[in-house]
Structure 1
Amino acid sequence: MQKIIDPHLHFFNLDIGQYNWLKSENPPYWDDKGIIQKNFSEKDLMLGPHLNLESFVHVEAGFSNEQPSKEIEWLEKVISKPFKSIATCNLQQNHKLFNKNIEELKRFQSFIGVRDIIDQNGHKLLPNQEAMRNFEILNENKLIFELQIDKLSNTNNEFIKEITKAFPNIKFVLNHIGFPAYSHNNFDTMCLLKDLNQCENLYIKASGWEMMNRNYELIFVENIMSALINHFDTNKIMLASNFPLNLFKGSYEELWDNYFHILNDEQLTHKLTYQNAKNIYNI
């Protein structure tokens, strides 16, 4: 039986959470949004008997952007497995309020870091004094920052290199490989990933394929993983699901079976599907 730690998934409780992004009248305007407009919990992570989901990392899903602790409080009441949680944050928030939120979040056993979806705004954060103060708060607390940008590019790479160097105590985790362009020719992606390997405190989660193309072919995943493995430290790469958004393409079990099919090296597979997440998130 293969052990798994899934380092990137989301649960929803539409009865008590806000989830404004999930509402049909709000962006993103996806024709298939209805697939995920429902409650999702631990029981929905269905795998065959050959796979054992030992733990996971829950990444904020918009439960309450104004009060980040509310989502963590709910999660710790309903989840039975050992897990870690990533709370939402606003890097441009007043640093005193930001620090207050961090201190409140630190009361929760599962809390290990935060995410603010940066997309195209990385260059705007560097001269922003409040953002830099807030990064310093994360740095002092040695927390994880989930780094979500809109695409891999030279401009975003320069931002990543500068911010990771400025705050060495933060573990920066690049979500969804930085959304590389959907292409079967991944030369540009290879070069950009190789460029980021110099960032000592940068880690990468390979997931979110359905966000790059709903009908992606497995060869795309194979090529991206090949570029990652050949040009980035394999101790800093994690495979993840992005559940329930992976359902836009296929089932949870199908996704993990595809990962194991692609990686035919037993030691490497163990690292990318289990050990690296265990080490990085201290699960």
Structure 2
Amino acid sequence: MTIDFIDPHVHFFALATGEYAWLKPDNPPFWKDKNLIHNDYCESDLSVNAPLNLSAYVHVEAGFDNENSLKEAEYWLEKATLPMTAMIFADLRVSPERFRQSLMLALALNDAPQQERNAFCAKPITGIRHIFDDETCNILSSDNTDENFSLLDELGLLFELQMNMANSNDFSALMKVLEKYPSLRLSVNHAGGFNGAHNRISTKELDAWCQNMRHLCELNNAYVKVSGFEMQDRNYTIDHVKRSLDDTLNVAGEGNVMFASNFPLTLFSATYSSYWQLVIEAIDSMGLKRSTLIHDTAKRCYFG
């Protein structure tokens, strides 16, 4: 029997066309093995072995052109043969006028005939990402961030939240903004920077992560992507995956959690197909419902 899944977090690279400053060896992140992913990647690289079947995916911005982030979405949408939606980069610190202009251009793309290619992909652009990480407080304290979040809420666009959810100071700054917009839709990247790395964080950090994630998910519009294990440990095992999933389900609830790959960074540790095979093995061994975690929640979040 075919196992259909949606991958809600992939990146493609077209090195001769895009900028990808972060992939260059002189720029952070300074991973010793970063050269392993310094290649072109596209939809055809998302190959899996039967009975796995990729039915749709979400392309998350990867630094193709941060001055005109729609170029990246348009480039890959034109090449897509499977249902695809894109998360574009948008800087929350720019003036509200400039931010609105960027979003209006994105929404205009949603109305283009291109979307007739597949009814499953009703919106080529679903939302934006602005990575917070170590810049969380700086971004959130910007004079324009609050108003720009308001516009995202108004337009019903999804925000990809990427930050360390164990950092309570950063989380407090985040909630001061989010509590003003309880209907704002969020998707937390890589389980809030946790990903089963119990051997790398203290009990205090784990407690903070649990408390903060639970508080965030009480907003009722927050989804969590369990992914990015290779970012914590290149040699992660199924036990890492199971423990991360268990902890995430405990704070977010089964209906709000989905697996993702973070391709091509998955290649630091495993092939694309073997990653998803490991995911299926982890889900089955825990007695959980496959379709919820690898298909249905992602469909509702990004394609609903």
Would the TM-score normalized by the shorter structure come out above 0.5? Answer: yes
Structure 2 partner of 1:231 = 251
Q: Measured at CA, do residues 127 and 32 of structure 1 come closer, stay the same or move farther in structure 2, by a change above 3 Å?
A: closer
State how 1:232-251 maps to structure 2 within 5 Å.
232-251=252-271
Residues 276, 71 of structure 1: alpha-carbon distance in 2 compared, 3 angstrom cutoff = same
| C-alpha displacement of 1:192 | 4.1
Q: Aligned with 1:31: secondary structure? A: coil
Instruction: State percent identity of aligned pairs.
Output: 31
Distance change >3 Å, CA 34–CA 124, structure 1 → 2: closer
1:143 aligns with 2:161: no
Q: Choose the corresponding residue for 2:238, options 213, 218, 224.
A: 218
| Aligned CA distance change for structure 1 residues 192 and 219 (closer, same or farther; 3 Å) | farther
Secondary structure at 1:231 match in 2: helix
Bigger Cα displacement from structure 2, 260-269 vs 142-151: 260-269
Instruction: Determine the structure 2 residue equivalent to 1:183.
Output: 198
Aligned to 1:50: 51
Supply the distance in 1 between the matched residues of 2:253 and 2:171 (Cα, whole angstroms). Answer: 17
Q: 8 Å contact 2:140–2:174 — kept in the other structure?
A: no
In 2, distance between residues paired with 1:49 and 1:262?
18
Name the structure 1 match of 2:30. 29
Aligned residues: CA RMSD:
1.9
Residue 170 of structure 1 corresponds to 184
Between 169-178 and 145-154, report the one with greater CA deviation. Answer: 145-154
Structure 1 residues 42-82: Cα deviation after superposition (integer angstroms, max 9, x where no partner):
00011012011000000000000000111111012111111
Within the candidate set 199, 207, 217, 2:227 is matched to: 207
2:292 corresponds in structure 1 to 271
1:161 matches 2:182: no
Deviations 1:135-156 (A, max 9, x none): 1111111100000113523223
Deviations 1:104-143 (A, max 9, x none): 1112231010000111333334443211111111111110
User: Which 10-residue stretch deviates more, 150-159 or 270-279?
Assistant: 150-159
2:91 counterpart letter in structure 1: N
Question: In the alignment, is the contact (CA less than 8 A) between 1:9 and 1:57 conserved in 2?
Answer: yes
Contact 2:225 2:259 in 1 (8 A): yes
Displacement, 1:24? Answer: 1.2
Structure 2 distance, partners of 1:224, 1:191, is 15
Q: Supply the AA of the counterpart residue of 1:271.
A: T
Question: In 2, distance between residues paired with 1:80 and 1:279?
Answer: 21
Where does structure 1 lack aligned partners over 5 or more consecutive residues? none
Preserved contact between residue 91 and residue 131 of structure 1 (Cα < 8 Å): yes
Q: Any idea what SS the aligned residue of 1:146 has? A: strand
Matched with 2:9 is: 8
The CA distance in 2 between the partners of 1:165 and 1:151, in whole Å, is: 16
Query: Does the aligned pair in 2 maintain the 1:140–1:169 contact within 8 Å?
Result: no
- Which residue of the partner structure matches residue 126 of structure 2? 112
Q: Partner of 2:84 in structure 1?
A: 83
| C-alpha separation in 1, matches of 2:34 and 2:79 | 25
The answer to whether residue 136 in structure 2 is matched with residue 122 in structure 1 is yes
| Contact 1:161/1:199 (8 A) holds in 2 | no
For residues 25-55 of structure 1, what are the alpha-carbon distances to aligned partners after superposition, in whole Å with 9 as ceiling and x for unaligned?
A: 2111111111110100000011012011000
Where 2:132 maps in the other structure, the secondary structure is strand
2:81 is matched by which residue type in structure 1? Answer: S
Secondary structure of residue in 1 paired with 2:190:
helix
Q: Deviation at 1:170? A: 2.1
* Cα distance, 1:130–1:191 mapped onto 2, change above 3 Å: closer
Could you tell me how far apart the structure 1 residues matched to 2:25 and 2:140 are?
Answer: 34
What SS is found at the alignment partner of 1:46?
A: coil
User: In the aligned structure 1, how far is the partner of 2:240 from the partner of 2:156?
Assistant: 35
Are the equivalent residues in 2 in contact too, given 1:119–1:151 (CA < 8 A)?
no
Structure 2 match to 1:97:
98
- SS at structure 1 position matched to 2:303: coil
Residue 119 (structure 2) aligns with: none
More moved, 1-10 vs 104-113: 104-113
> How many Å separate the matches in 2 of 1:28 and 1:153?
20
Structure 2 unmatched ranges of 5 or more:
111-123
- How many pairs are equivalent? 283
Report the TM-score when normalising by structure 1: 0.93
Amino acid at match of 1:209: F
Residue 220 of structure 1 aligns with an amino acid whose one-letter code is H
- Counterpart secondary structure, 1:216: coil
